[in-house]
């Protein structure tokens, strides 16, 4: 449990935040913000499948020691059932009131364990399950239906849960991700941790996404940039992220004749400072939950060009905080980029509106307040 003493008086709610690990990712960052921000009326515990990741140090600094329930390879083995039983016993022994589980693999352990222990459980559904096969989606849907409540971070995910998976609307809440603007601004001011390629006076596009899954569709951005380049529009692009698809994307950039203007930066820890040097941001995925990359681009005051999928339209209102285009349409993506580059004052107004939206609707205070109210309602009733 948290090492600091809890306030005297009413028994604090015993709450477990359960995630797969603390590698760098949007979900892990949001869990960390909950640990930082929830009031002392909670007695908090962290649970993971894997006690690893560069964010683990921040968890320790907050005073938490994670309880680990390792899957050890395939879930289709006896160890999974063993970890479910272990967690059920642990929940009972610690008299836990509520478990909030944040990802698919942790849900496999947490939901059945909570049901065995008689503990309330909230399942976080933070993407459109686009990376899951049919069998995994069915399992995830079934476990989600067993939960006491479900948190989605985008309206598109709420619709999926209600309209496709048949959950009652009353059991689903939408709580958008939160961003600490003060900390983000500090990261921008800290500056670059490594040099950037020289782009001269050319406008710069930044795209931040992993290169693990085809769903991120960096190919569409490369095609759009080739159209702009061969049409005489001088523009440079920084692609931030890495993964097994990078070499293929670098080859495609060469084939399209844009290797000199497209720069693959691989993994960077100074994304905020990179955004500060950009003209606009792009995310052209074919499926998406609530993108922290888009949120950070907006926080940097950039107009964002995004595809009309998932949580993107929760963030970017077309023509107001950026531009929205259909997915897998490179020509329309190129047109949107060209529109912003040719109207710099309009682009700046969109960027200011984007920053204002983040400050107003995506604050950490709002994230904490809505989760606090939900936890109280699930445990104590409306």
164-189 pLDDT, tens digit per residue, is 999 999 999 999 999 999 999 999 99
pLDDT tens per residue, range 303-322:
999 999 999 999 999 999 99
233 and 131 in one domain?
Answer: no
> Mean pLDDT throughout 29-54?
94
Please check whether residues 221 and 300 belong to one and the same domain. Answer: yes
8: pLDDT strictly greater than 80: no
Buried (b) or exposed (e) across 111-134, using 16+ Cβ within 10 A? bbbbbebebbbbbbbbbbbeeeee
Are residues 116 and 263 both part of a single domain? no
Number of domains the chain contains: 2
The pLDDT tens digits of the residues spanning 251-295 come to 999 999 999 999 999 999 999 999 999 999 999 999 998 999 999
Q: Which domain holds residue 314?
A: 182-361
Round to whole Å and give the CA distance between 157 and 168.
14
Q: Is 68 inside a domain boundary?
A: yes
* Percentage of the chain exceeding pLDDT 90: 88
Question: What pLDDT is attached to residue 196?
Answer: 97
If asked whether residues 369 and 334 sit together in one domain, one would say no
- Please indicate, yes or no, whether residues 130 and 218 belong to a single structural domain of this protein: no
**Who contacts 199 (Cβ-Cβ below 8 Å, separation ≥6)?**
236
Specify the pairing of strand 236-240 against strand 262-266: parallel
Residue 5 lies in a domain: no
State whether 238 and 319 are in the same domain: yes
Q: Which long-range contacts (CB under 8 A, 24 or more apart) does 161-165 make?
A: 161/125, 165/141
Tell me whether residue 2 is in a domain. no
Who has greater pLDDT, 145 or 27? 145
Residues 200 and 336 in one domain: yes
Q: Tens digits of per-residue pLDDT, 229-248? A: 999 999 999 999 999 999 99
27, 137: one domain? yes
Whether residue 3 has pLDDT greater than 70:
no
Same domain, 232 and 222: yes
Residues 217 and 334 both lie in one domain: yes
Question: Does residue 214 share a domain with residue 278?
Answer: yes
Instruction: For the chain, give the mean pLDDT.
Output: 94
CATH code assigned at 330? 3.40.50.2000
């Amino acid at each position: 449990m948290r090492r600091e003493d809890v306030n005297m008086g009413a028994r604090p709610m015993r709450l477990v935040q359960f995630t797969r690990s603390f590698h760098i990712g949007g979900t892990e960052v949001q869990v960390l913000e909950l640990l930082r921000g929830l009031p002392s009326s909670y007695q908090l515990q962290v649970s993971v499948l894997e006690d690893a990741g560069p964010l683990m140090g921040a968890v320790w600094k907050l005073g938490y020691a994670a309880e680990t329930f390792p899957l050890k390879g395939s879930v289709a083995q006896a160890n999974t059932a063993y970890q479910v039983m272990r967690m059920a016993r642990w929940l009972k022994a610690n008299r836990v009131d509520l478990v909030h589980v944040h990802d698919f693999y942790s849900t496999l352990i947490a939901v059945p364990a909570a049901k065995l222990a008689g503990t309330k459980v909230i399942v976080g559904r933070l993407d459109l399950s686009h990376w899951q096969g049919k069998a995994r989606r069915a399992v995830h849907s079934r476990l989600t239906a067993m939960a006491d409540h479900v948190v989605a971070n985008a309206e598109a995910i709420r619709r999926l849960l209600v309209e496709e998976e048949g959950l009652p609307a009353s059991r689903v809440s939408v709580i958008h991700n939160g961003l600490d603007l003060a900390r983000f601004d500090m990261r921008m001011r800290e500056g670059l941790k490594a040099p950037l390629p020289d782009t001269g006076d050319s406008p710069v596009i930044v795209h931040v996404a992993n290169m693990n899954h085809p769903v991120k569709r960096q190919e569409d951005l490369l095609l759009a940039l080739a159209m702009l380049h061969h049409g005489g529009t001088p523009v440079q692009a920084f692609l931030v992220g890495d993964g097994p698809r990078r070499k293929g994307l670098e080859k495609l950039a060469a084939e399209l004749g844009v290797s000199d203007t497209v720069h693959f930066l691989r993994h960077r820890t100074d994304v905020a400072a990179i955004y500060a040097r950009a003209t606009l941001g792009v995310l052209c995925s074919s499926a998406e939950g609530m993108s922290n990359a888009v949120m950070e681009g907006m926080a940097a005051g950039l107009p964002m060009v995004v595809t009309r999928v998932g949580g993107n339209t929760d963030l970017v209102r077309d023509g107001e905080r950026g531009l929205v285009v259909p997915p897998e349409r490179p020509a329309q993506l190129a047109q949107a980029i060209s529109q912003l580059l040719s109207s710099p004052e309009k682009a700046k107004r969109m960027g200011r509106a984007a920053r204002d939206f983040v400050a107003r609707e995506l604050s950490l205070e709002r994230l904490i307040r809505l989760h606090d109210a939900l936890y109280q309602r699930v445990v104590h009733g409306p």
